Amino acid sequence: MKDGKSMDLENILDKLDPDERSFVTELIERDPLTGVYNRRKFDRDLQLLVAMAKRTSKGSSLIFIDIDNFKKYNDTHGHQEGDRTLREVTQSIEGSLRDYDRIHIYRYGGEEFVVIIPETTTSEAYAIAERIRRNVKHATGVTISLGISHCTETSDSPDSLLEDADRALFQAKGKGRDKVQIYKDTP
């Protein structure tokens, strides 16, 4: 990110004392509604994930999560109820993860979330995703669809990791929603 805006932001942050810098960085990187990291932070962290995953024996997994039929839910129940549900879904996702993984939850946009699971195999990520799916449904009454990709097993770049998880998510929705789907590079 060598554009003018990023450089200006870094220059501004460099002028702050450490406490102020930490406070402003939190404001920039956190989603105000759910409290988890936002897309801006995810885009930066994804680059780091791929670099790190190539150095571990297990690699790392990415879980893409989408709340099923959320537009219809908002239209039926209203946006305030939708916001409450987004917070509850976030809490349920967090409660489904190991302490170490809770720092890797991002609101990707709207009703979509991404979880980075460092040093996991695809089968371990599947077990985690299934636990998330069940817990969200039990705690909130809404269903979610999840797509999993894996850095080193099927994907080797940030773009392909995200695209593969998105393809798997699309397949989960195509199979009736409320499903977990692992990306495989063959149909």
Do residues 41 and 64 share a domain? Answer: yes
pLDDT band at 1 (very low <50, low <70, confident <90, very high): very low
Do residues 158 and 138 share a domain? Answer: yes
Bridge partners for 151 per DSSP:
60, 155
How confident is the model over 43-54, as pLDDT tens digits?
Answer: 889 888 887 777
Contact 140, 105 (CB under 8 A): no
Least confident piece of the model among 12-26, 130-144, 160-174: 12-26
The distance of Cα 163 from the centroid of its chain, to the nearest Å, equals 13
pLDDT given at position 100 = 73
pLDDT given at position 101 = 72
pLDDT given at position 53 = 74
Distances (CA, A) of 58 to 34, 96, 115, 121, 124: 30, 21, 17, 6, 10
Question: For all residues of the chain together, what is the average pLDDT?
Answer: 88
pLDDT band at 6 (very low <50, low <70, confident <90, very high): low
Do residues 12 and 101 share a domain? Answer: no
Please indicate, yes or no, if residue 187 is contained in any of the structural domains. no
How confident is the model over 125-149, as pLDDT tens digits?
Answer: 999 999 999 999 999 999 999 999 9
Do residues 42 and 24 share a domain? Answer: no
Domains identified in the chain, total number:
2
Bridge partners for 146 per DSSP:
65, 180
Supply the range of the domain harboring residue 9: 1-30
Please indicate, yes or no, if residue 151 is contained in any of the structural domains. yes
Is residue 29 annotated as part of the catalytic site, yes or no? Answer: no
Residue 16 has pLDDT above 50, yes or no: yes
Do residues 38 and 26 share a domain? Answer: no
Q: What share of the chain is helix, strand, coil (3-state, %, to 5)?
A: 55, 20, 25
Do residues 7 and 46 share a domain? Answer: no
Please indicate, yes or no, if residue 40 is contained in any of the structural domains. yes
Do residues 11 and 101 share a domain? Answer: no
Q: Which of 41, 61, 44 is nearest to 53 (CA)?
A: 61
Identify the residue whose tokens are 């393809």.
167
Residue 13 has pLDDT above 80, yes or no: no
pTM above 0.75, yes or no: yes
Residue 159's φ and ψ, nearest 5 degrees, are -65, -45
Share of the chain above pLDDT 90, in %: 61
Catalytic residue from among 10, 81, 94, 111: 111
Do residues 168 and 89 share a domain? Answer: yes
pLDDT band at 177 (very low <50, low <70, confident <90, very high): very high
Do residues 97 and 159 share a domain? Answer: yes
pLDDT band at 20 (very low <50, low <70, confident <90, very high): confident
Q: What's the average model confidence in pLDDT over 150-158?
A: 84
Do residues 109 and 70 share a domain? Answer: yes
